[in-house]
Amino acid sequence: MSAAARHVLIVDDELPARERLQRLVAELPGWAVAGSCSNGSDALALVGKLDPAVLLLDIRMPGMTGIEVARHLGALERPPAIVFTTAYDEYALQAFEAQAVGYLLKPVRRERLEEALKHASRLSTPQLHGLATQEQPLAARQHVAVRVRDELKLIPVKEIRYFRADQKYVTVRHVRGEDLLDESLRTLEEEFANEFVRIHRSVLVAVAHVEALERSGEEGYALRLRGEAEPLPVSRRQVAELRKRLAGA
């Protein structure tokens, strides 16, 4: 590895695919393989450790898709540039074209790889958002990523009890504590519309964690969540919608 070489992290669940990309990258002057891994969570951990310049990221992987990995990386202060790789995926390709995101088709050609690495750039928030909404089948994330110092911490969506908007950040309250998230409550509400329901101007609650809806005070309501000592106040305007969702769940 020459000192000036820029580092690439390869993420693909298939061994032959990883081996081939490793060889191709190693053969390119000015580029070096920082490492490789076979799934999204390992990739997020390795990005913090290895600080690669570019991520070659497969889309269709078990557990966490490449798109989801990219969205989590967006939470980093200095995320690596991303080039997606795919053998065939109509949905994803449409989204990439629409968002002008770099991608490579497998089997990857050497010249194309060189070109893509050279022009690889970080994904902007609108691009990430665009990918998420256009990629219909992959829309909702399985985790949300929060930045703890310079590393990413993944919180499974299933463990989240509620999101609460404060002035600038959103607090994620989950089974293991609380974290700060750099996303807006509106986009979270859109993305997780199936699992979460708005109970207040600034609070989004996981339907699965609700224990009971109870009266509080004169005409008010409060929502009790499993594992939470304090009930959450429910705004009167949201009561009907909340009742409907609880009945459906």
Partner 1 sequence: MSKTGAVERAAEDRPPRSTLVPPALASAAGGRAAGVAPASPLDASLDDFFIPDFCATRMVFAVVLIAELLAVTLSLARPAAAFLTELARISMFLQWLGLTSAAVLCYARPRLARLTVAQSSVAVFGLLMVNTAVISALALWAGTGFGAAGIDMALFPREHWPFLLRNEGICVIVTALLLRYFFVTHQWQKHVKTEAHSRIEALQARIRPHFLFNSMNTIAALTRTDPARAEEAVEDLADLFRATLRDSHSPLRLKEELELTRIYQRIEALRLGDRLKVTWDVAELPMRAFVPGLTVQPLLENAIYHGIEMLEGGGTVIVSGRVVAGEIEISVTNPVAANGPATERPGNRLALDNIRQRLALAYGGRGSLTVEQSPEQYRVTVRSPFTE
Stretch 133-172: interaction string toward partner 1, x if CB under 8 A? ---xxxxx-x---------------x--------------
The least CB distance from residue 78 to partner 1, in Å, is: 28
Number of residues engaging partner 1 in binding (CB under 8 A): 28
Stretch that binds partner 1, among 28-36, 101-109, 205-213, 218-226 (CB under 8 A): 101-109
**Position of tokens 């497998």?**
106
How far is the CA of 34 from the CAs of 29, 68, 83, 92, in angstroms? 14, 21, 15, 26
Q: Is residue 122 part of the contact set for partner 1 (CB under 8 A)? A: no
Q: Which of 5, 6, 7, 14 binds partner 1 (CB under 8 A)?
A: 14
DSSP letter at 237 equals: G
Cβ proximity to partner 1, 7 vs 60, nearer residue: 60
Cβ proximity to partner 1, 65 vs 127, nearer residue: 65
Q: Which of 7, 48, 53, 63 binds partner 1 (CB under 8 A)?
A: 63
Stretch 187-216: interaction string toward partner 1, x if CB under 8 A? -------x----------------------
Q: Is residue 247 part of the contact set for partner 1 (CB under 8 A)? A: no
Cβ proximity to partner 1, 19 vs 150, nearer residue: 19
Stretch that binds partner 1, among 73-81, 106-114, 115-123, 201-209 (CB under 8 A): 106-114
Three-state SS for 133?
A: helix
Q: What are phi and psi of 23, to 5 degrees?
A: -65, -45
∠58-61-62 over CA atoms, to 5°? 165
Element (H, E) at 58: strand 54-58
Q: Is residue 94 part of the contact set for partner 1 (CB under 8 A)? A: no
Judge whether 70 and 43 are in contact, CB under 8 Å: no
Residue count of the chain, please give it.
249
Tokens linked to 169: 């950040």
Cβ proximity to partner 1, 15 vs 148, nearer residue: 15
Distance CA(62)–CA(87), nearest Å, equals 15
Distance CA(97)–CA(125), nearest Å, equals 16
Stretch that binds partner 1, among 100-108, 163-171, 176-184, 216-224 (CB under 8 A): 100-108
How far is the CA of 164 from the CAs of 40, 69, 141, in angstroms? 27, 24, 18
